[in-house]
Every structure is written in C-alpha cells, then in structure tokens.
Amino acid sequence: MAPADALEGPPELSGSLQLRHVDAGSCNGCELEIASSFGPVYDAERFGARLVASPRHADGLLVTGPVTKNMAAPLTKTLEATPRPRVVIAIGDCARNCGVFAGGYGVAGAVGDVVPVDVSVPGCPPEPTAIIEALRGITRR
C-alpha cells in the first residue's frame, strides 16, 4: 500500500467531511475502489467522510481519472460551486499524472493541471485502505 502524498486538510473539515465525487474521465477502476471504501467492509463513514449528491452540499471533491477535454470545464464549474473551506482529493494515478492515458488525444491533463489539488492518493487503482487513510488524514478521526 502506497502512502498518500499529503495527509493535511483544512482544520475546519476535521470531524466531518462531505464529498462530491467527480469522474473526470476515469476507467471506472477507481470508482469501484471508492464504492468499496464506502461499502460495508471498509465503511469510510465511520471516520466522518460521506458522499453527497451535489457540490453545493459538499466540503470537497473526490476527483478520479485524467481530465478529458469535455470534462475540464464541468470540473472547474463543480469546484466553483463548492463552498469554502474546501478540499480537492485526486484519487488514483490517472488523476495525479494521467497514468496510461498520458498524451491521449482527448486528455486535457492531470487533475492538478485543471484545479488545485490538496491531497492525492496514488495507485492504479488505489486500495480502499489507501483512500480511507487519505480521508482520515483530513477528518482526523
């Protein structure tokens, strides 16, 4: 299990973290792992993190995949719609550096090229334990 790149989030978000998931062009591998993280076995909600249905309800974004050209503007808009203080978590290698899709004709860049990233989780796909460790770094629970 590879460690997360950074484990610090804004102190206001400790305790409870509401997240909006944005698939910016993922192969859905990371989605499976996120689903598993919030499933009954790993149950990330024990640690104060929850998935919500709108960025208006969220404290942060959970972004997966390389950012495709079609998703670059929606991702920016989603971040604009998220109230501050907020955190952007890039999940998986594609989100960090485009992974195997690097240089693809439809790829606009990694998540960090489009929006500022606070925390990123490496892995292709990252294991649920890695995702949860990153989340716990922010919720501090």
Partner 1 sequence: MAAALLCWGACGLEAAAAVRVLASGHPVVLRSAELLALTGVNIVLTPLGAFFVLLVAMVAVPATLHGIGYAPHGLSGRMAACTVPIFVTVLLLVPAAGSVATFMVLWELMALSSLALVLADQARRESVRSAGTWYAVITHVGAALILVAFLILAAHSGSQTFVALRTSARHLALPWRSLAFVVALVGFGSKAGVVPFHVWLPKAHPEAPSPVSALMSGAMVALGVYGIVLFGDVLLGGGPVWWWLVVLALGAASALYGSLYAASSTDLKRLLAYSTTDNVGLVLLALGASGLFAATRHPLLAALGMVGALVLLLNHAAFKGALFLSAGSVQTATGSRDLDQLGGLLRRMPQSGALFLVAAAAICALPPLNGFIGEWLLFQSLLHGVDIGNTAGDVAIPLAVAAMALTAGLTVVAFVKAAGIGFLGRPRSTGAESATEVPGTMRFAVGLLVGVCVVLGVLPTLILPAVERAVRAALPGVRQVTLTHGVGLQLVGLRGMLEPAALAAAIVAAVAGVTALRRILSRRPAPTVVEAWGCGRQLQTARMQYTATSFAEPVGRVFDDVLRPVHDLDISHAAESRYFVEAVSYRSAVDDSIERVLYRPPIAAVRRWGQLARHLQPGSVHRYLAYGFGALVVVLAAVAVLR
**Which residues of this protein are in contact with partner 1, per CB under 8 A?**
54-56, 73-75, 77-78, 80-81
For partner 1, give the closer residue by CB, 60 or 126: 60
Cα separation of 19 and 70, whole Å? 22
Cα separation of 73 and 70, whole Å? 7
- Cis before 125 (ω within 30): yes
Structure tokens at 124: 């292709």
For partner 1, give the closer residue by CB, 7 or 81: 81
As a whole number of Å, the CA-based R_g of the chain is 14
Q: Shortest gap between Cβ of 73 and partner 1 (angstroms)?
A: 6
Q: Shortest gap between Cβ of 79 and partner 1 (angstroms)?
A: 10
For partner 1, give the closer residue by CB, 46 or 77: 77
Q: Shortest gap between Cβ of 21 and partner 1 (angstroms)?
A: 13
User: For residue 59, which of 89, 16, 90, 18 has the smallest C-alpha distance?
Assistant: 18
Helices (H) and strands (E) in the chain, counts: 5, 7
Q: Shortest gap between Cβ of 92 and partner 1 (angstroms)?
A: 20
Structure tokens at 110: 């990694």
For partner 1, give the closer residue by CB, 22 or 119: 22
